[in-house]
Amino acid sequence: MNIGQVVKELKKVYPSASISRVRFLEKEGLIKPKRSKGGTRIFTNKDLKKLNKILDLQENQFYSLKAIKNNSSLLTSKDTRKITISEYSKHDVLKNSGVSEKDFHELVKYKFEDDKEKFTNIDLERLKSWSFFLELGLQPRNFTTIKSVSDRTIGFSDYLISTIQDENINVELVVDNLTKIIKGLILRK
């Protein structure tokens, strides 16, 4: 596959992936794709797997590029130390999600996001989802119906919680299960 196809695959999990980033990792000697007679990079599934591992080490496990280069066992070991980050700065959450500053301000304008100092893992996952749709060419204005459904669902989930007699039931559990029902209904069509 060519570099564009590789980046398209990487973006499914790592929205911040780009052609220039793949070229940089090649320049740093972390990957060595084959070349066609015309000089075009030809990536194998093994190359794609290695790129996924590198991006995982950088974005999810927070290893520096220098640490990855100096410890080649990180690329082959399945037993890497997982670091859990519970709080992100605005800069880091946008970088890791692949959402640009401009797109983020549009999301704030349409009241899908709040412009705040600290972000959580839930914020990061939601922004990754926004990045997916933004990459497809959709804009926040295309999601105004979702905003009204979300606003109505908040009241509905509060109602559900108030009628449930189990103290172990919280808003997140109710929302997770409502999401599964909605997903099932949409995919059933």
Is residue 161 in a domain?
Answer: yes
DSSP 112: S
pLDDT of the residue at 152: 85
- For 42-96, what is each residue's pLDDT tens digit? 999 999 999 999 998 888 887 888 888 888 788 877 765 555 677 889 998 998 8
Among 119, 138, 157, identify where a domain stops. Answer: 138
Mean pLDDT across 89-108? 94
140: CB partners within 8 A, 6+ apart = 103, 106, 107, 109, 110, 112
Is residue 81 in a domain?
Answer: no
Residue 27 binned pLDDT confidence (cut-offs 50, 70, 90): very high
Among 44, 76, 108, identify where a domain stops. Answer: 76
| Residue 9 and residue 68 share a domain | yes
- Chain center to CA of 81: 20
pLDDT of the residue at 77: 72
What residues make up the domain containing 115?
A: 88-138
Residue 143 CB-density burial (10 A; 0-12 exposed, 13-18 middle, 19+ buried): middle
Residue 24 binned pLDDT confidence (cut-offs 50, 70, 90): very high
| Residue 129 and residue 97 share a domain | yes
Q: How far apart are CA 168 and CA 58, in angstroms?
A: 36
pLDDT at 31 over 60: yes
| Residue 92 and residue 58 share a domain | no
Is residue 119 in a domain?
Answer: yes
**The token pair that represents 76 in the structure block:** 């082959």
How many domains are contained in the chain?
Answer: 3
Q: How far apart are CA 81 and CA 85, in angstroms?
A: 13
**The token pair that represents 103 in the structure block:** 């797109």
| Residue 71 and residue 18 share a domain | yes
Is residue 83 in a domain?
Answer: no
- For 151-162, what is each residue's pLDDT tens digit? 888 888 888 888
Total-model pTM: 0.57
Is residue 169 in a domain?
Answer: yes
| Residue 21 and residue 71 share a domain | yes
